[in-house]
Structure 1
Amino acid sequence: MGRIHQRIGAGRIIAACQALLACLIVVAPGSPGLAQTYSDRPGGDYMSAPISSGDPADCALLCEHDRRCRAWSFTYPTVVETGAVCWLKNSVPARVPDNCCVSGVRGAGVVEIRNDAVETSIDRPGGDYRGFEIKTTEPKGAEKGADKEKDKDKQAEKAADAEDICKAACTGDNKCRAWTFARPGYAGKEAHCFLKKEIKPPRRRAGFTSGVVR
């Protein structure tokens, strides 16, 4: 009788493990489809539209409301494109890392970085004791085509470097407890860094990145 109970118990454990494995197989493939900050999905564009709010979540919503849309890319403002732009796609191109953009597939929400060092799309208004511009743009020229694309790539790289400069400025100043970085086009034409002597409550705000240092 004891052996029968042992066999039944073992059978239940095996069945439970099989069910758990099946769930993992179903769930795992969906994770790469989530929208990601600092990524682009080049190709497949059938429409573009300005996003006056500068919020990638509005681009995701635009895709959701259009039956033709299968994926989307949101580009942050640059010197070439004066405002944020949403690109809707009739295919699902591969996702590639790029500081210029946020991208995703239809039905996916925007996944924003949240860790001890960086808070994406977060502002901490107030408590500023110092603010300064970080130049990321070049004077407008007459470049076209490939040169124009290179300019956009360079500016995306500079914007990422500018964020690191802002964080480093706070880390290197004992008076600074937190920082907020505004991408170009969100607090003026150039990127802007705000150093804070107090830790203020976080508030969601597209185009801004914050962090607490000490």
Structure 2
Amino acid sequence: MLLLDEPFGALDAKVREELRAWLRRLHDEVHVTTVLVTHDQAEALDVADRIAVLHKGRIEQVGSPTDVYDAPANAFVMSFLGAVSTLNGSLVRPHDIRVGRTPNMAVAAADGTAGSTGVLRAVVDRVVVLGFEVRVELTSAATGGAFTAQITRGDAEALALREGDTVYVRATRVPPIAGGVSGVDDAGVERVKVTST
């Protein structure tokens, strides 16, 4: 058994990424049981066959990276594995929020869509270019609650977003959360990002 506790925490991003790939290859070649303790979501999702999310010494969920990310057991698991925004009372990933200039934006038709979340009018507070993607910080016109959308650079350029612009947003996917989410509204937005310590 190989036990690793935050092995890449003090390294720069490029080296961490290379070492994650190396560790995954090593694991596949040697077939040794490996327990990797990390607070880095990308590291966990990239390296693991199975993820156990712990909170206050209790296991909240165990599953494949896809299962844990796409069907979190509760709000804690969802927020632990990445950024979360609240939109129309539902927890959504910022990259699952569509931004448009008109309220009649197309609705996705596949399972896991957000048909019940509707379209929300919002004001652009800030546009942050992060390389190939863009973080759009928004405020709900209905509630005054802040939330974040993550869109492609191409979409951002096509929309020509500026601070103060009025836009319309909708969730394209709302992950199922066991037991639902209570006491969450647009004003109670959580922006949780896991970082290495």
Query: TM-score, normalised to structure 2's length?
Result: 0.30
Q: Which has the higher contact order (CA 8 A, sep 6+)?
A: 2
Mark the structure with the bigger radius of gyration.
1
Q: Give the structure-1-normalised TM-score.
A: 0.28
